[in-house]
């Protein structure tokens, strides 16, 4: 399940990742989906993200974008595995 036409500034080509990899993006998407599935609210998830340290400011921007998708309509149909796979695949495709 790819995100056809997905285009957020932080995710535009060339895909700026900082020190992260597309696998890291996918891993975070799965983690964020597990938060959602366990009942953690979006504002609590954002607070968890705020408590992390980043090597490059774009990393936080990217993960905020992932959170918006996980807690938005796309996340309604995702599982932990599919969220990770979709976000990793979209990253690798430069979306």
Domain residue extents for the chain: 20-92
- At 15 the pLDDT is 63
This prediction has a pTM of 0.82
**N- to C-terminal Cα distance for the chain?**
13
Q: In this structure, is the dihedral angle defined by the CA atoms of residues 81, 66, 53 and 17, taken in order, positive or negative?
A: positive
Q: What is the pLDDT along the chain (95 residues), one digit of tens a residue?
A: 445 444 444 444 456 888 999 999 999 999 999 999 999 999 999 999 999 999 999 999 999 999 999 999 999 999 999 999 999 999 998 87
């Amino acid at each position: 399940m790819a995100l056809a036409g997905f285009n957020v500034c932080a995710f535009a080509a060339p895909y700026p990742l900082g020190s992260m990899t597309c696998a890291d993006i996918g891993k975070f998407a799965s983690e964020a989906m597990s938060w959602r599935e366990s009942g953690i609210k979006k504002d609590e998830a954002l607070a968890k993200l705020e408590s992390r340290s980043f090597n490059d400011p774009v990393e936080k921007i990217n993960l905020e974008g992932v959170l918006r998708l996980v807690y938005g309509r796309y996340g309604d149909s995702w599982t932990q595995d599919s969220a990770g796979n979709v976000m990793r695949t979209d990253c690798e495709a430069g979306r």
